[in-house]
Structure formats: C-alpha cells, structure tokens
Amino acid sequence: PPGVALKTDIVVIGGGQAGLSAAYHLKQAGLEPRKEFVILDAASAPGGAWQFRWPSLTLSTVNRIHDLPGQPFSDMASGETHVQARVAVPRYFAAYEHTFDLRVLRPVRVTLVSRRGDRFRVEIDRGDFFARGLINATGTWDAPYIPVYPGAERFQGQHLHTRDYRTAQAFAGQHVVIVGAGISALQLLGEISMVTTTTWVTRQPPVFREGPFDDQAGRAAVALVEDRVRAGLPPQSVVSVTGLPVTPAVGEMRARGVLRRHPMFTEITGDGVRWADGSEVRADVILWCTGFRSSLDHLAPLMLRGPDAEGGIVMTGRLATQVASDPQIHLVGYGPSASTIGANRAGRAAASELLASLALR
Ligand code: FAD
C-alpha cells in the first residue's frame, strides 16, 4: 500500500501471538508502524494460526490462551467457554491490532530473507523490504510433520494430518489409525472414536501427568526446551516435557476403552498398516497427529542451522530469542516460547534486545 516504507528498521514476519506481542513492544518504545517497523502476515485475516483450528476446539478444550500485553482476552471472552477458539481468538486479535493501531500488512507471505550488507532483504511475492533487524514469528502451523514409514506411497486410503481435521463425522463408517501421543492426538481420538472404529499407535507409551500442572512445573518444562535451543539442538515437542494432562475427557476415554495404545507399526500397506510381528490392521485413513516443526524455510539463505544432521539453531539472549550467529535476528514463538504465554514474553525480550542492539531507542 502507498505510504509503507520499503526501507525500514525492523520487519516482523508473522502476526500471531508472538508477532503481535513483539509489535506492541516496538510501538511502546516509540517506533511508528509501517514506517520504522512493518508487520507482514501471510494470513488474509487477523488471528494467526488460531483461525485455522478445527471447530470443536473451544475455549474450554484449549489448554489456555494467555492475554496479549496491554489488553486482556477475558475482557472479550468471559464466560464464553463454548465458543470456538477459531472464532474467539481471531476476534480478539483483530480488536487488539485496532486498539494499538499496529497496521499489519496482509496477506503478505515472505518467501525468502537474505543478507545485503548491513540490511536484510525480505522478499515477498510482489517486491522486497529492506530492514536492519528481523523478528521472525511464523509459528509452526505451516510446517506439519509426518514421519516417513516404508510403503506410505502405496496406501490407497487417505493420509491426513492434524491440521486437516475438521469434524469426526467425516470419518463415519471408516477405520481410522491415529498416530501420536500428544494433546491433539488424544483429542481427535476421543472425538473420532465416538463415531467410528479407531486404532491408536504411538512410538513411546504415552506419559500421563496425574498431578496439576502448576507454574513451577511450567517453568521447569520451559527450562528444558531453553537448554536445548541454547545448545543448538532442535526444540522438542511440548508433551515430551510436560506429559499429558488427565482431563475429564481422558477419564471418559479410559472408561470407554479407547485408550488402548499399540506400538508403532513398521510398514504401511496398500490397505492398512503392518507391525514387525506380521499382524495387520486395515485402514481407510491414517491420521498423523505427529506435530509440527518451526516454519522457517524462508530463512534458509541466512544459513542459521548448524551443520549437523539435527539442524538446530544456536540461540542466545535473555529468553533465548536471539540467533547467536546473527544477533539482529530474533525468533519468537520458537522453542521455549512456543506457547501463548511464552510468545508474549519472547516478544517483549526480542523487541527490547533488538532495539538496543540497533541503537534505536
Ligand atoms: P501462529 O499463531 O502460527 O502465527 C504465525 C503467523 O505467521 C500466522 O498468521 C502465519 O500466517 C504467519 N506466517 C507464517 N509464515 C509466514 C511467512 N513466510 N510470511 C508471512 N507470514 C507468515 N498454546 C497455548 O498457550 N495454549 C493453548 O491452548 C494452545 N493450543 C494449541 C492447539 C493446537 C492445535 C496447536 C497446534 C497449538 C496450540 N498452542 C497452544 C500453541 C500455540 O498455538 C502457539 O504457541 C501460539 O499460539 C503460536 O503463536 P505464534 O505467533 O508463534 O504462531
């Protein structure tokens, strides 16, 4: 749009929880949106990845959506536990962007970022932005992860990922193999097993957490992931550090007998899956609830990943948001900050550290 500075101080890539938090703090520090900093978001409407979540994920079935800085979510959503997260959160983000006049540019997808001397060249489909600092907040939704198993291409049924799920009714009359031991796997297993037959497979036996998940446990879980990214290792899944909460829904699934977990199959056949001992299950759908990776492909020219096969990025800074090899880049919503509360804190730390290192405020 006219009036947008193509040469700017900071580009924020992504307008979800992490990007909006960073933008809020840049603006609080006195930077003018669309002039001294620009937020580019690939989605066509506010809401980050929340606008794409499945309809049955309501405010009562999400873990917890933390307030963005400066305007509580509860102001807009008190008592609305039955409301779909994909409706309530985008509505909140839209109001938030308006209140703080953040002037997000969308839909604008960043395709590549490279170095041009002391600036970053941020390429979009219709031109370039040039910035001195970068806050990347692109989340994980665009990078669904499906592990490779022999025979996958032979399968005549459907391979689906968590991100494709809309409603359990779509599977009526089909046999669904559900893969994964995370919160989403459990939630979808619970819903789909109400309408049809299921087989649940996981690599490791799921670890249920019977006790409450208090602040201390939360901090300990975040610290584990933070240690990993500071050492340049890829962040691991949230569930691997927190365990699965035993919700009333889990109790109900136990009672119905659907929480019968099988070990991982070793092969996919034309019409199902096969285990090492030769046993088989026929399947119409394999639903991979196997999580997401960080959506960072557009940063490939910057060569941030280490040379080893694990391909992590060495992170530093107060909350481990700063890329050690290129301090003018911050990754927010990555690793230890991949939660709504973490994204908030990361946005604040990244904004203040980047402003200081660019000597802007
Ligand atoms: P996102 O919300 O994914 O926002 C990223 C934005 O970047 C999107 O708008 C996207 O369009 C944009 N983008 C991506 N690539 C580009 C590009 N190349 N150029 C421009 N823009 C781009 N966390 C909690 O704290 N509580 C919960 O209850 C909870 N429930 C969850 C349920 C599910 C099913 C999932 C998958 C995650 C859940 N999380 C939850 C984790 C939570 O979603 C994240 O921590 C947080 O919302 C992510 O915010 P974000 O800003 O990092 O990413």
Q: How far, in Å, CA of 4 to CA of 105, rounded?
A: 9
Give just the sign of the alpha carbon dihedral 182, 187, 189, 192. negative
- Atom from ligand 1 closest to the CA of residue 48: 9
Q: Which of 20, 21, 38, 41 to mutate to test the pocket of ligand 1 (most atoms within 8 A of CB)?
A: 41
Asked if 54 and 85 count as a contact pair (C-beta separation under 8 A), the reply is no
At 264, list the tokens: 């991982």
Nearest CA to ligand 1 atom 6: 14
DSSP SS3 for 79: coil
Q: How far, in Å, CA of 86 to CA of 66, rounded?
A: 15
Whether ligand 1 lies within 6 angstroms of the CB of 18 is answered as yes
196 pLDDT above the threshold of 90: yes
185 pLDDT above the threshold of 70: yes
Give distance in angstroms: CA of 50 to centre of ligand 1: 7
Whether ligand 1 lies within 6 angstroms of the CB of 33 is answered as no
At 332, list the tokens: 């927010």
Q: How far, in Å, CA of 45 to CA of 224, rounded?
A: 34
Q: Please write the tens of the pLDDT for every residue from 14-46.
A: 999 999 999 999 999 999 999 999 999 999 999
Whole-structure pTM value: 0.95
- Atom from ligand 1 closest to the CA of residue 63: 28
Asked if 328 and 120 count as a contact pair (C-beta separation under 8 A), the reply is yes
Whether ligand 1 lies within 6 angstroms of the CB of 90 is answered as no
Whether ligand 1 lies within 6 angstroms of the CB of 138 is answered as yes
* pLDDT confidence of residue 307: 74
Q: In the structure, how many helices (H) and strands (E) does the chain have?
A: 8, 18
* pLDDT confidence of residue 215: 77
Whether ligand 1 lies within 6 angstroms of the CB of 336 is answered as no
Q: Which of 165, 340, 345 to mutate to test the pocket of ligand 1 (most atoms within 8 A of CB)?
A: 340
> 313-334: string of b/e by CB count within 10 Å (b at 16+)?
bbbebebbbbbbebebbbbbbb
Whether ligand 1 lies within 6 angstroms of the CB of 64 is answered as yes
Query: How much is the average pLDDT of 145-155?
Result: 97
Q: How far, in Å, CA of 325 to CA of 119, rounded?
A: 15
183 pLDDT above the threshold of 80: yes
51 pLDDT above the threshold of 90: yes
ipTM of the complex: 0.98
Give distance in angstroms: CA of 137 to centre of ligand 1: 8
Q: Please write the tens of the pLDDT for every residue from 275-332.
A: 999 999 999 999 999 999 999 999 999 999 977 767 799 999 999 999 999 999 999 9
Q: Which of these ranges, 113-122, 235-244, 308-317, has the smallest mean pLDDT?
A: 235-244
- Atom from ligand 1 closest to the CA of residue 14: 7
Whether ligand 1 lies within 6 angstroms of the CB of 60 is answered as no
Nearest CA to ligand 1 atom 40: 339
Asked if 198 and 177 count as a contact pair (C-beta separation under 8 A), the reply is yes
